[in-house]
Every structure is written in C-alpha cells, then in structure tokens.
Amino acid sequence: MAQILSAEPGLDVIEGESLEDHADDHSVVITDYSAGMHMLTQRATNQPIHRDRVLIVTNKNKEWEVRHAVESGVHGYVLQSCAPNELILGVRLLGNGAGYLSPAAARWVVGSPGRIALTRRENDVLRLIALGNSDKRIASELGIGVVTVKTHVGHLLQKLDATARTHAVVIALHRGLLPESGM
C-alpha cells in the first residue's frame, strides 16, 4: 500500500511512525480492522483531539463488522481486495475531509431496498437470543422488562422476515449481522 500511495502526486506517506508530529486536517491513518477499532475506542474514552482520519483496510466484510466500524467513527472502509485506484480514491477523499466506504461495505450501511436496519437494542436482543437466552434472562441482562423483550423479538421477526427466534438467528448469521463465533 505504501508503495502504491507513495507513487501518487500530492500524497506523503509516513510508515510506522506516530502521526502526533505530522497530524493535520489532511492526515489519514491507514490501519487494519482490529487496530482501527482499538484506536477509535481509545479516542472515544480518552477524548483526545485528533485531526487525522481513520481508513480501515480489511478483509472483514460482514454487515455487523462494517456497521460496528461506522458506528464507532471510522471515516473510511475498504476491502483488502480493492483495486489500487479505490485505495487512492479513499485516501484522497478522507484527506479532503470526506468519508469513503467501498461499494462492498457501503451496501451494508446503506442497506438494500426494503431492508430495515435493526436498532442497537434489537441487535443486543438478537445477540442474546443467539446465545440461547430466554426472554426473562435477556430482560435481566439488559435491565428491561420481559414485555419489552417480547416487543423487540416481534420487531426482529418482522424486520428479518423470520418465522421464529431460531429462524431469525439463522437469517442474521447469513446476513452477517452476528459474529459467527464469540458472540
């Protein structure tokens, strides 16, 4: 990546160094998914003033991974399999203050026609259903009432076009709404 970007006019590439001395409104940090998510979590908890923008380059293309990155504040997201011109476009857009999601990642954020996104609470309930929890246990875990859990389950079934809780989990796994392990 550094070789591709270094060949581009107007782009200065700094490898392996802290950007603290170099950061400005046009700086872009290119990182992998894990390091990028860690960086964004640190920023959220420490509230430092960072002007550089984060571009994640990864092979992670499941809906829950992309949505989590975007909700965490990532500025750009491209897949490792992208063409060099897509990487360059992403860096240039981020450097100019815009965001960029590769088309493969954007489909999960924008959604497909007719697809209704799950709320954060519905995602929480879905994750706990996938772990085999009862409504009562989910209510206890989330600090909400059993009736509220049942309402969320009803919304999940409707939004996922599922006929039962297990069916909803299967659909969610297929769409990439849940991690396949370590839920």
Task: Kindly report, residue by residue over 90-143, the tens digit of the pLDDT.
Answer: 998 988 888 898 887 887 666 554 456 788 899 899 999 999 999 999 999 999
For the stretch 17-75, pLDDT in tens is 555 555 666 788 888 999 888 888 877 676 555 567 889 999 988 777 887 888 788 88
pLDDT at 78: 93
Across the range 66-88, mean pLDDT stands at: 88
Domain ranges of the chain: 2-110, 120-175
pLDDT at 21: 56
pLDDT at 70: 83
Question: Quick one: CATH architecture of 120-175?
Answer: Orthogonal Bundle (1.10)
Written as six digits, the tokens of 136 are 């009562």
One fold for both 2-110 and 120-175? no
pLDDT at 63: 76
Question: Quick one: CATH architecture of 2-110?
Answer: 3-Layer(aba) Sandwich (3.40)
Q: Is the pLDDT of residue 89 over 70?
A: yes
pLDDT at 114: 47
